[in-house]
Structure 1
């Protein structure tokens, strides 16, 4: 099925060599579920942007899992990140959307704090995308207040995913940016997701260049 095929595709990608290492933590969105191919996910778009901006090859290790909640990020993805050598040059983290349906504020904050405490400096963390309507959107806004506060405490850059998706509006998303499952983004939708990360990536690239020049 699609979930298995995407996971296999990313596993194969992670075996390739690259001058830069980009690592992604997340859920089915990072896997690219809903895209015409996994490489058209926001993770794939970010990888291509890094290649274009730096002129260097990029190895992508996508540790995300479809259906992952914060507890899976802590139990499975984080240990895999710790095992990576060398550490990533770029790390993106977009997780928490699957915690919204049964949102528990205390648990969400506790698990997110634990996750952020274990991330390396320079990680780019995203807030949750817009759910547009109803209790899911209310929960997402409450969760995002926690995301922003904890990210600020750790000094992490925040990819403003909620703003980027909310700006599109529910009607445009439903008509043009949602996949056949009527939940995940399609290729257009993932370009919107990637747009939340791109300005921060450019800053990371510039900082890495400055560090390299200093050395």
Structure 2
């Protein structure tokens, strides 16, 4: 009996040691793999930077300017165009049916301080139709809320009023997430003061979950891979689509001179004219005329005292449109 117990004990200890040994070997292999991936990232940096720098010289009917860090460069993607900036650029081309010049001012490793001092001075040489600002993740390692807010204010004050800014992505680890929460409170508060649209990058990446995030991350366990960048792009797509639609309305309903004279009000005037155009089309729609005649006849037969309501609502709607203009 004692012999059996001894054999069982030795087997158990041996099995435990084997598992521990395998885990140790796996951990070493994981560390080596991460180091190799980190080295590949270092090799990517000049390649991606040169790729984007060359595209600044491409002409286009629209101009998209991106401010950011290595994520805006697409580091971790198989090719630079599969980063979120490249994905958004492709989406803008398709939605607008226009050629697009992409000016990617981002710098790998940039913090809000770096974006403020290195990217903003160059921004002034362009007039972007679309502008995205995704910056701040590199601030978290050595996070100072006051400095972060001071730099962010300078950036948000310099970008155009239609710029789309993103909050910081979810980092899952408790210590980092506490800093991210503070940073994102600053992002939302300062963006609201400047009237900027905030893309919910944190919400989108958190929804994916930790396990899937690892699958959507490059081997360095920091940068997104192709799948990860598609998720990042999805956080900005609704705001980018809305901006493109506004640009198309301006192009259709305003002359170049009107755009110049109206300035920031051009978008509101174009939207108002688009609403009036849609209302006029509805007025001449046979289906709508038939519906209104049917309602009018029904109200008269029933002696409905609310018969004038429809005309009143339509007048109110036209008044809102005029007010928006």
What TM-score do you get using the length of structure 2 for normalisation?
Answer: 0.64
Divergent runs of 4+, >2 A: none
Q: CA deviation at 1:17?
A: 1.2
The structure in which a higher percent of residues are helix is: 2
What TM-score do you get using the length of structure 1 for normalisation?
Answer: 0.97
Q: Distance in 2 between matches of 1:132 and 1:44?
A: 26
Q: Distance in 2 between matches of 1:214 and 1:39?
A: 33
Q: Distance in 2 between matches of 1:58 and 1:114?
A: 27
Q: Distance in 1 between matches of 2:144 and 2:245?
A: 38
- In the alignment, which residue of structure 1 is the partner of 2:86? 44
**SS of the counterpart of 1:91?**
strand
CA offsets 1:121-176 (integer angstroms, 9 cap, x no match): 100000000101121111011100000000011110111100110110111111x2
The answer to whether residue 49 in structure 2 is matched with residue 2 in structure 1 is no
- In the alignment, which residue of structure 2 is the partner of 1:211? 250
Which of residues 198, 201, 217 is equivalent to 1:158? 198
Report 1:136-151 matches (<5 A): 136-151=176-191
- In the alignment, which residue of structure 2 is the partner of 1:32? 74
- In the alignment, which residue of structure 2 is the partner of 1:72? 114
Q: CA deviation at 1:214?
A: 2.3
Q: CA deviation at 1:20?
A: 0.8
List alignment gaps of at least 5 residues for structure 1.
none
CA offsets 1:168-212 (integer angstroms, 9 cap, x no match): 0111111x2000111100000000000011100111011112222
CA offsets 1:13-55 (integer angstroms, 9 cap, x no match): 1111111100100000000110000000000000000011011
Which of residues 56, 79, 97 is equivalent to 1:14? 56
Q: CA deviation at 1:81?
A: 0.4
Q: Distance in 2 between matches of 1:28 and 1:82?
A: 21
Which has more radius of gyration? Answer: 2
Structure with larger RCO (C-alpha < 8 A, sep 6+) = 1
Q: CA RMSD in A?
A: 0.8
**SS of the counterpart of 1:167?**
helix
- In the alignment, which residue of structure 1 is the partner of 2:240? 201
Which of residues 133, 151, 164 is equivalent to 1:124? 164
**SS of the counterpart of 1:83?**
coil
